[in-house]
Amino acid sequence: MAKTNLTAVILTLLVIVGLFSVAGALVWMGSLMKSRSGSTPSVTVATPTPTTNSSGSLNQIAKSDRQVDYSKLRTYLQQKNWKAADRETYERMLEAAGPQAQALGYTPQTEMDTLSCTDLKTIDGLWSAASEGKFGFTAQQRILKALGDYRKMYEQVGWQKLSGEWLIEWTYNPQTKRLDYKPGKEPNFTTPPPGHLPTVERGYNFDVSLDAVLKRCGF
C-alpha cells in the first residue's frame, strides 16, 4: 500500500515538472521571437477626408438697407437656374432702389444715385458664391479693370459688339411697367461666358447707370 502511494506521488511530481517545462519553453520562445522582430510593427489608420459645403457663402445672411428678401434669389442660384435668378435680381434691385423704381420698372437717376451698396454687395455675394466667381458684379468689374474700357468689357461678357450692335436688348411693357428682353436678344442662359450675368440696369449712359453705382460702391 505504501509502495503504491509512493508511486502515485512520483507520477504527480513528474507531471508537475513537465508542465513547468512546457510553460518555460513557451516563455523562452516568445522572448526569442520578440528580440528578433526588434519592435512591434505600427498600424496606419486611414483618416477620411473631411467634406466641405459647396454652397459656401450662399448661406450668408443677406444684408439689406431696405429689408429686401433675397431668399428666392438664393434658391434660384442654388438650383443654377440662371434665367430665374437674373429676373429675380432685376425685381429685387428695383425694391432696393426705392419706391420710384418699383413703380416705374427701372431706376431713375435720383434713386440710382442712392442705390444701396449693402444690397449690391449681397446680390454680388450670392451670384459669386453660386458660380464660383464666374458671375456677379465683382466678376464683371474684374474684366473691366483688366480691359480698361467699358465697350471692350461689354463685348467680352457678351452684351454688345464693338460695332455698337447690342446682343442683349430690353423692351418696356407699359401694362406691367416692367422691362422684358426682346425676342432673340435674351442673355445666354445656357452657356453664359464669365461676367455675363446678371445683366440688370446696363446698356445706357455709363455716368448714370449701374456702372457708375458699382464704382461708387467700390467694386
Tell me the pLDDT of the chain averaged across its residues. 78
**pTM score of the predicted model:** 0.72
More confident residue, 126 or 30: 126
pLDDT for 152-202, tens place per residue? 999 999 999 999 999 999 999 999 999 999 999 999 999 999 999 999 877
Residue 42 inside a domain? The answer is no
CA angle 212, 162, 183 (to 5 degrees): 85
Over 80: is that where the pLDDT of 96 sits? Answer: yes
Residue 30 inside a domain? The answer is no
Domain that holds residue 115: 56-216
**Residue 15's pLDDT is what?**
36
Residue 112 inside a domain? The answer is yes
User: Look-up: residue for cell 454687395?
Assistant: 121
How distant is the alpha carbon of residue 211 from its chain centre?
25
In percent, the amount of the chain with pLDDT more than 70 equals 71
Sign of CA dihedral 85, 88, 89, 90: positive
Q: Confidence class of residue 209 from pLDDT cuts 50, 70 and 90?
A: confident
Cα(16)–Cα(9) distance, integer angstroms: 11
Residue 4 inside a domain? The answer is no
pLDDT for 20-72, tens place per residue? 343 443 333 344 334 444 433 333 323 233 333 334 567 777 899 999 999 99
Task: Report the candidate in 168, 172, 188 with the shortest Cα–Cα distance to residue 180.
Answer: 172
Residue 2 inside a domain? The answer is no
Helix (H, G, I), strand (E, B) or coil at 167: coil
Residue 117 inside a domain? The answer is yes
Cα(92)–Cα(95) distance, integer angstroms: 5
- Quote the number of domains for the chain: 1
The one-letter amino acid at 210: L
Contact assessment for residue 70 and residue 64, using Cβ atoms and an 8 Å cutoff: yes
